[in-house]
Amino acid sequence: MDDLLELTGRAEATHFWFRGFRKFLAPVIADLARGARLEPDGKGRRGLRLVDCGCGTGHNLQLLHPHGKAVGFDLGEVGPARARATGFAVLRGDVTQIPLASDSFDVATSFDVLQCVEADLAAVREMARIVRPGGVVIVTLAALDALRGDHAEVWHEVRRYTPATARRLMNEAGLKPERVSYMFASLFPLMASVRFAQRVTRRFGRTVRPDTDITVPSGPINLLLTALVSAEAALVRHVPMPIGSSLLVVARKES
């Protein structure tokens, strides 16, 4: 897993998928952190406490940092070491046994982690525990079994989610889902065809390469796909997508 995080760390700044991911998430986090949706009285707040659960390389802590004090934790060694080198506070810890106090954060995030966690319900319950009443949990999840391919094998995915299973997971953890929406609809035809081809060719003995899905494409292709996903991220703020390769979930801990 640490080797995969090294590969991820080299791709996160420029790869079209990671760029698009940040385009989807940044406005959602900003809207929540502005306070109108975090505080029942509608008053804005400054200096929120935010935590990224299973933060990997820590790159996504940059999404949280503008809105308050951001910390993270991850199970491995490479991720926390890389994150600390950029100045963020990062611990080692298990998302199913979070080493942080109850009711101590305004926002807890977890980005593309839960599909690789056997006990996903225990993990979400822990995230619910550490956010204060009225706080929010934001997660992204791999969507749809039809999109299983090399990436799922390399990262040892346990499951992929649908909107219905994502909502059920949040409800069972004691959270109220407020948003469950698809991301990367613009890439769905491409990803579906590539993942199908991967599954078929594996049956004939093709070796799975760990860098298959996170190698940065050539410059023009990377720019084109970045523009495509960025346009979708702008559109989805107004028009929900009917399908996608990932799910974005925002859920609230009731006061």
Domains detected in the chain: 2-253 (3.40.50.150)
- SS3 of residue 170 by DSSP: helix
Q: Indicate the Cα dihedral angle 15, 220, 209, 144, nearest 10°.
A: 60
- SS3 of residue 246 by DSSP: strand
Taking only the tens of pLDDT, the chain with its 255 residues reads: 666 777 787 888 899 999 999 999 999 999 998 764 454 444 444 579 999 999 988 899 999 999 999 999 999 877 777 777 778 889 999 999 999 999 999 999 999 999 999 999 999 999 999 999 999 999 999 999 999 988 888 889 999 999 999 999 999 999 999 999 999 999 999 999 999 998 898 888 888 876 667 788 899 999 999 999 999 999 999 999 999 999 999 999 998
Question: Distances from the Cα of 56 to the Cαs of 110, 153, 204, in angstroms?
Answer: 10, 18, 33
pTM of the model: 0.91
Strands 131-142 and 246-253: antiparallel
Residue 109 sits at the vertex; the CA angle it makes with 95 and 65, to the nearest 5 degrees, is: 120
The span from the CA of 213 to the CA of 228, in Å, is 18
Q: Which residues contact 164 (CB under 8 A, 6 or more apart)?
A: none
Region of residue 213 (left: phi > 0; alpha: psi -120 to 50; beta: else): alpha
